[in-house]
Amino acid sequence: MDPSAAKEYVTLISNLFTHYQGLNRGSMKVTHLQGHILEFMYSKQKALNLKEISEGLEIAKQQLTHVVSGLEKKGYLIKRPDERDKRAVLVTLTPAGKAIEEQKWRVLYQKFIKSFNQLTEEEQFDFCFALHKVNTLLQKMGG
């Protein structure tokens, strides 16, 4: 294997993360960890128990319980007993939780378009082609 591929991959991750952080800055009215939980819940589009969230985000269940309670107090999540497993609690996004995520993605999209429009037409084409190619190859490589 060409070691430059691994170096470019790590650089890509760093660049994507830095760019995403810039786009995301100021788009949420919750803490960083609360934002991760809301985003995870929004992406799953279903009720999840605390164990599923804990494992999905690799967060200790004890820490998660505290953060979920804070989000519940803000009206973004609802906790209810799991009827299939009486020991478990199911967590669901409220309409307010969905709305805050949708607003975040609208703001991110607008900021991305503004940033993207700073590129020339040829650079925009190259960028789109490169993203498509990287996504296709990553899917082929598996995860």
Residue 94 lies in a domain: yes
Neighbours of 125 (CB within 10 A): 11
Residue 111 lies in a domain: yes
Residue 10 lies in a domain: no
Q: How many domains does the chain have?
A: 1
- CATH number, domain of 52, equals 1.10.10.10
The pair phi, psi for residue 90, each rounded to 5°, is: -95, 140
Range of the domain at 53: 25-115
pTM comes to: 0.77
Residue 143 lies in a domain: no
Report in angstroms the alpha-carbon separations of 123 from 8, 46, 67, 117, 120: 19, 39, 42, 10, 5
Residue 47 sits at the vertex; the CA angle it makes with 21 and 93, to the nearest 5 degrees, is: 50
The two tokens of residue 95 are: 């309409």
The pair phi, psi for residue 122, each rounded to 5°, is: -65, -40
Report in angstroms the alpha-carbon separations of 89 from 22, 50, 71, 77, 124: 35, 7, 15, 12, 46
Residue 140 lies in a domain: no
Residue 110 lies in a domain: yes
Residue 6 lies in a domain: no
Digit-by-digit pLDDT tens for the chain (143 residues) are 678 888 999 999 999 999 988 888 877 788 889 999 999 999 999 999 999 999 999 999 889 999 999 999 999 999 999 888 878 889 999 999 999 999 999 999 999 999 999 999 999 999 999 999 999 999 999 86
